[in-house]
């Protein structure tokens, strides 16, 4: 009896397992769409609306939307795009090591014709379109169009206005003002900067400090391999030494080496540290969740980490490319772009009507100013695959005092040299 | 005990029972292993045509300091994931089985065993998040508790200090791992003939005496199983490192498996990653073989 | 009293082991605002089930639960069967070169999973099993059975020979001996294996992440990954999802842990 039950159970399990496979055939009346933004994020809200509009303007076509994990798309994109299960359109990370690599491997559709036909290139400003174009080495900034970004992002200074007022401090608009403010907090026994050394925040600050002395040519050499990169030039050295000084003066806590980005954000939002130098991706959350104090943002003085957001890309194996282009068209419409902005995002092509919320308005105005002045410098880990881990590790060692700032530069230089040697092969 | 005389023909028919397992193994493990070794002789980014480069990846490996350092960290993890859980597991299992089970009822023993085993059930991604909250330097639970009882000097930057991070990871691994030997050993203790204990008790042996002279020798097969499987698990440990420290700070908790993962998926140097994985596999296999021979000899 | 000292020290140990679970539960019932202002360790002012409900609906958790049960259940059953066959030949049949055969089987356990990803993807794609539950079931059956083979071979090595002898005299063939004598007597160990296989497979993350691409095929731990954004983590919802993910495994363990205690008689066979 028991044996029979067991056999029946196994048979049933196998039946469920077997028939649950992927047997959906390609259907001209669907658009298989993947992205990894949460439903409450600015992008998630705007895209949900875009899907609705798409289905309204394409009667009979159904959007098969699947929300994916970021990790899953990152790790498996080349495999998925090589199989028959590829979606018709998906959101993918921008940059050489991601979209650039896929384009080089021939897994993405060259959408240059659509871009000119539909005028998307005119909507994207300079610096924003850099991440949408890749040459045949997979290096961004020139060549063919492989994706379209809907939004932008950049690193800025968030500060706790209530705490600044208590110390009699004004908005830290220049590096000197920022340093002076931090000195005052440190003297009062408050660690001024929230930093997460276990993830991206620490090495972004490291890069930000170098960027205060950088220009477009310097950034292009580092990010787009347009010339030799010297990690011991004045720009890098200024950044590294300033970082070391901040550490020495206690502006950055030695404890921050093991802190994750999430906990950095929490520390700022709980009012433990008055300043956080990080990206616009925190904006919506800080706005929604900080209730106990006044806060504000100022742009970073000089060039700053930032770029377009992630890209809509059309896989080579997409079965409904026209639908995919139509969808991108909708996401670039002023209506969807405004929706994205009102939800706390930074659209790339908003309508002329300004946003009502003053903080959102400032966020967007600051971004526009950065674009107009061509001050977006991408992110420090982009130039080489795996550079992220290497930089986290080097900067962590500086924070814990295992190595000095100059040695960290040497480590980064070695990694950069070794791992960019194969670019374009 | 008398051994059943078995003829050659007889043994042959036992081989039939190995066919399903053997075929599955071939398709899912042996062929992929061969392919992985093949990839390790190439330079490949994960898509497109791999380029044959012979032994280059291996020569590079020999001079790669990160690779060798990652093996040293593995030794600590073998202690935390195999040696200590086995020792602690033996004592806990015996205490639960002999004391709690016999004097307070097997219900109590079951509940306590379940509590000790539960960390094995928690998805490792979640365990990573929770432990980084507990071990956080400024307001983590552990430091708060230490400060509350006046031991401020013991409050540490558990995951952020390069000298401490490996120890902290070892502590978390012990927490995760210890339930597994407890369950196995308790199952094994049920096999033990109670009359052996009774006889020892009549001889006036203390609890520890019976523990060492009856329990431990009787569940020897289980001890070997636990030691070997935990050692293997420790050598290829990946997920806990990924969620707790990502090999940091400054590479002080990097392990071979994570290093190969980095090469596979972050640096897209699939060939080099495959070489690391191959070396790791060979090393574990050699260890396993030695271990099994020792075990085999012990059984004879 | 010494007995009570042991009891109390065990209770303390158990509580310490449970602290992290308590923290998960604590954050699962917080609102995101409470988490942001108070941090992960503050007590919430009330119980909010919003995170749990929101996560359930966002990932269609019922479907993921069914997928995980199907995959883990199939793997647990099949891997126990395969392990019994293998161990019967190696532990009782004592076939020639069994040590080496065992080593070969153990490769499944020793090979780091990262090394398997590209080849398995390639093979699964070739035979049309990419993005199917069946592929994951087959793969984990082999991986878990390696452990089962080893454990069972070890314990069956000490199987009472008189019983086999008696069965042979009764005219039982090898198959009958296996089904009527060896399996019933080994049931406690098989129960342990079944529980382990189910739980280990339940928590597997990496291979399912790579091989189960469609949302309709995903398992609970993979669905959990949806919450880990590029630079953001929704900690309250992650805790809520963790609670949801861990409860079925705990329930399963509690139900089947009776299987672990039942077989005391097995040792009484003389």
Check pLDDT > 60 for residue A12: no
What pLDDT does C72 receive?
95
Site of tokens 């000490």? C158
Q: For chains A and B, what is the number of CB pairs under 8 angstroms?
A: 97
Query: Residue C68 has what pLDDT?
Result: 93
What is the structure's pLDDT at A423? 67
Q: Which residues of chain C have pLDDT under 50?
A: 263-270
pLDDT tens-digit profile of A347-384? 999 888 888 899 999 999 999 999 999 999 999 999 98
Query: A425 falls in which pLDDT band (50, 70, 90)?
Result: very low
Tens digit of pLDDT at every position of chain B (300 positions) = 334 444 444 555 888 999 999 999 999 999 999 999 999 999 988 777 888 999 999 999 999 998 999 989 998 899 999 999 999 999 999 999 888 888 888 788 888 988 999 898 888 878 888 888 888 887 788 888 888 888 888 888 888 888 899 999 999 999 999 999 998 898 888 878 888 888 988 888 888 998 999 999 988 888 988 999 999 999 989 888 988 888 878 889 999 999 999 888 888 889 999 999 999 999 999 999 998 888 878 765
Cα angle value C24/B246/A70 (rounded, 5°): 70
pLDDT at residue C270, as a whole number: 26
Distance CA B242, CA B258 (A): 7
Residue A21: pLDDT band by 50, 70, 90 thresholds? Answer: very low
Q: What is the pLDDT of residue B98?
A: 85
Q: What is the pLDDT of residues A223-259, one digit of tens each?
A: 999 999 999 999 999 999 999 999 999 999 998 998 8
Residue A152 pLDDT > 60: yes
Q: How far is Cα B61 from Cα C160, in angstroms, rounded to an integer?
A: 49
Strand partners, A149: A311
Cβ–Cβ < 8 Å for B262, B67? no
Q: First CA to last CA across chain B, in angstroms?
A: 14
Is the model more confident about A133 or about B102?
A133
pLDDT tens-place string over residues A26-77: 577 899 999 999 888 899 999 999 999 999 999 999 999 999 988 888 888 8
CB atoms within 10 A of CB B6: 14
Instruction: Tell if the CB–CB gap between A388 and B46 is shorter than 8 Å.
Output: no
Task: Please provide the DSSP assignment of A130-149 as one string.
Answer: GGGEE-TTS-BTSSEE--EE
Identify from B16, B121, B186 which residue to disrupt to test chain C contact, counting C C-beta atoms within 10 A and taking the largest count. B121
Helix A387-400 vs helix A234-248: angle between axes, to the nearest 10 degrees? 40
3-state secondary structure of A315: strand
Q: Is the pLDDT of residue A15 over 70?
A: no
Confidence of residue A22 (pLDDT cuts 50, 70, 90): very low
Please indicate whether residue A82 or residue B86 has the higher confidence score (pLDDT). Answer: B86
Task: Report whether pLDDT(A20) > 80.
Answer: no
Quick one: which of A134, A135, A131 has its CA closest to A308? A131
Query: Which 358-387 residues of chain A touch chain C by CB within 8 A?
Result: none
The angle at the Cα of B10, spanning B9 to B14, to the nearest 5 degrees, equals 115
Contact partners for chain C, using 3 or more CB pairs closer than 8 A, are A, B
pLDDT in tens, A296-338: 999 999 999 999 999 999 999 999 999 999 999 999 999 999 9
Asked if this assembly's ipTM is beyond 0.90, the reply is no
The Cα–Cα gap between A88 and A104 comes to 19
CB distance from C160 to chain A under 8 Å?
Answer: no
Per-residue pLDDT tens over the stretch C206-229? 899 889 989 899 998 888 877 777
Per residue in A256-298, pLDDT (tens digit) is 998 889 889 999 999 999 999 999 999 988 998 898 999 999 9
Other C-beta atoms within 10 Å of C266: how many? 16
Residue B193 to chain A, least CA–CA distance (Å): 29
Distance of residue B30 Cα from the nearest chain A Cα, in angstroms: 21
The mean per-residue pLDDT over the stretch A198-211 comes to 96
Q: Which pLDDT score, from 0 to 100, does residue C266 have?
A: 36
A172/C54: higher pLDDT: A172
Instruction: For chain A, give the percent of residues with pLDDT over 70.
Output: 93
Q: Which of A78, A85, A305 is nearest to A204 (CA)?
A: A305
Q: Give me the pLDDT at residue C17, please.
A: 92
**Residue with token string 């085993």:** B117
- Judged by CB atoms closer than 8 Å, whether chains meet at C199 and B121 is answered as yes
Q: Is A18 on the interface with C (CB under 8 A)?
A: yes
Give the Cα separation of A22 and A26 in Å (integer).
11
């Amino acid at each position: 009896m028991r044996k029979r039950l067991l056999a029946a159970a196994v048979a049933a399990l196998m039946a469920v397992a077997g028939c649950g496979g992927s047997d959906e055939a390609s259907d001209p009346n669907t658009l298989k769409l993947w992205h990894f933004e949460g439903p409450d994020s600015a992008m998630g809200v705007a895209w949900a609306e875009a899907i609705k509009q798409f289905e309204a303007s394409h009667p009979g076509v159904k959007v098969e939307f699947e929300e994916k994990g970021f990790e899953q798309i990152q790790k498996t994109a080349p495999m998925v795009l090589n199989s028959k299960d590829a979606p018709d359109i998906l959101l993918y990370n921008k940059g050489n090591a991601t979209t650039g690599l896929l384009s080089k491997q021939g897994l993405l559709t060259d959408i240059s014709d659509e871009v000119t036909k539909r005028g998307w290139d005119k909507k994207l400003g300079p610096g924003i379109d850099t991440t949408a174009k890749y040459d045949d080495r997979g290096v961004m900034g020139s060549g063919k169009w492989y994706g379209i970004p809907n939004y932008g992002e950049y690193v800025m200074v968030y500060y706790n206005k209530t705490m600044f007022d208590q110390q009699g401090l004004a908005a830290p608009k220049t590096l000197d003002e920022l340093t002076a403010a931090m000195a005052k907090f440190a003297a009062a026994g408050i660690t001024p900067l929230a930093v997460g050394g276990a993830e991206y925040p620490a090495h972004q600050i490291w890069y930000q400090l170098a960027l205060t002395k950088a220009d477009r040519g310097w950034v292009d050499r580092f990010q787009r391999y347009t010339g030799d990169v010297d990690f011991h030039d004045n720009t890098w050295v200024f950044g590294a030494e300033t970082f070391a000084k901040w550490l020495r003066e206690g502006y950055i806590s030695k404890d921050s080496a093991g802190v994750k980005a999430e906990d950095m954000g929490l520390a700022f939002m709980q009012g433990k540290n008055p300043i956080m130098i990080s990206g616009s991706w925190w904006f919506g959350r800080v706005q929604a969740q900080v209730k106990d104090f006044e806060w504000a943002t100022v742009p970073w003085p000089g060039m700053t980490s930032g770029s377009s957001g992630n890209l809509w890309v059309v896989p080579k194996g997409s079965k409904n490319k026209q639908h995919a282009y139509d969808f991108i068209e909708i996401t670039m419409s002023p209506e969807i772009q405004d929706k994205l902005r009102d939800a706390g995002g930074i659209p790339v092509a908003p309508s002329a009507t300004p946003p009502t919320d003053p903080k959102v308005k400032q966020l967007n105005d600051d971004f526009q100013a950065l674009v107009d002045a061509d001050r977006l410098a991408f992110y420090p880990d982009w130039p080489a695959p795996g550079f992220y881990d290497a930089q986290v590790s080097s900067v962590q060692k500086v924070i814990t005092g295992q190595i000095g700032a100059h040695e960290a530069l040497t480590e980064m230089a070695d990694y950069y040299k070794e791992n960019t040697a194969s670019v374009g092969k | 005990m008398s051994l059943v005389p078995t003829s050659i023909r007889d043994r042959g028919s036992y081989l039939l029972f190995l066919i399903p397992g053997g075929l599955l193994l071939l398709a899912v493990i042996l062929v992929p292993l061969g392919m992985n070794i093949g990839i390790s002789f190439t330079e490949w980014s994960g898509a497109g045509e791999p380029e044959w480069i012979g032994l280059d990846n291996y020569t590079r490996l020999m001079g790669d300091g990160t690779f060798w350092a990652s093996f040293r960290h593995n030794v600590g993890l073998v202690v935390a994931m195999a040696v200590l859980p086995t020792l602690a597991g033996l004592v806990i299992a015996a205490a639960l089985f002999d004391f709690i089970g016999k004097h307070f009822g097997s219900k109590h023993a079951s509940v306590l065993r379940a509590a000790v085993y539960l960390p094995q059930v928690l998805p490792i991604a979640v365990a990573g998040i929770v432990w980084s909250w507990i071990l956080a330097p400024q307001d983590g639970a552990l430091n708060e508790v230490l400060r509350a009882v006046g031991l401020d000097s013991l409050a540490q930057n558990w995951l952020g200090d390069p000298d401490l991070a490996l120890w902290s990871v070892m502590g978390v691994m012990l927490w995760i791992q210890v339930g597994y030997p407890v369950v196995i050993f308790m199952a094994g203790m049920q096999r033990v003939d109670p009359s052996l204990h009774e006889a020892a008790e009549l001889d006036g042996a203390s609890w520890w005496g019976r523990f060492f002279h009856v329990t431990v020798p009787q569940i020897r097969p289980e001890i070997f199983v636990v030691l070997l499987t935990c050692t293997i698990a420790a050598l290829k440990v990946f997920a806990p490192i990924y969620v707790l420290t990502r090999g940091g700070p400054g590479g002080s908790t990097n392990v071979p498996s994570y290093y190969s993962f980095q090469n596979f998926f972050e640096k897209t140097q699939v060939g080099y990653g495959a070489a690391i994985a191959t070396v790791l596999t060979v090393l574990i296999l050699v260890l396993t073989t030695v271990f099994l021979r020792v075990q085999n000899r012990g059984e004879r | 009293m010494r007995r009570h000292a042991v009891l109390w020290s065990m209770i303390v140990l158990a509580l310490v082991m449970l602290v992290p679970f308590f923290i998960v539960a604590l954050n699962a019932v917080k609102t995101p605002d409470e988490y942001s202002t108070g941090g992960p360790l503050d007590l919430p002012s009330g119980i909010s089930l919003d995170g749990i409900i929101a996560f359930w609906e966002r990932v269609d958790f019922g479907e993921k639960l069914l997928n995980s049960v199907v995959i883990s259940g199939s793997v647990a059953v099949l891997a126990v069967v395969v392990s019994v066959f293998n161990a019967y030949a190696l532990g009782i049949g004592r076939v020639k070169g069994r040590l080496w055969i065992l080593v070969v089987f153990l490769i499944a356990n020793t090979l780091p999973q990262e090394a398997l990803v590209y080849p398995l993807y390639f093979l699964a794609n070739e035979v049309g099993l990419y993005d199917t539950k069946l592929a994951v079931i087959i793969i984990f059956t082999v991986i878990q059975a390696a452990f089962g083979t080893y454990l069972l071979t070890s314990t069956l090595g000490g199987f009472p020979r008189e019983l086999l002898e008696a069965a042979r005299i009764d005219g039982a063939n090898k198959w009958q001996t296996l089904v009527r004598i060896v399996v019933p007597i080994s049931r406690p160990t098989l129960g342990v294996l079944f529980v382990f296989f189910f739980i280990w497979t339940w928590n597997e993350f990496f291979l399912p992440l790579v091989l189960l691409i469609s949302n309709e095929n995903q398992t609970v731990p993979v669905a959990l990954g949806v919450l880990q954004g590029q630079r953001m983590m929704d900690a309250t919802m992650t805790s809520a999802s963790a609670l949801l993910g861990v409860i079925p495994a705990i329930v399963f363990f509690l139900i089947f842990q009776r299987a672990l205690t039942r077989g005391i008689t097995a040792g009484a066979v003389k």
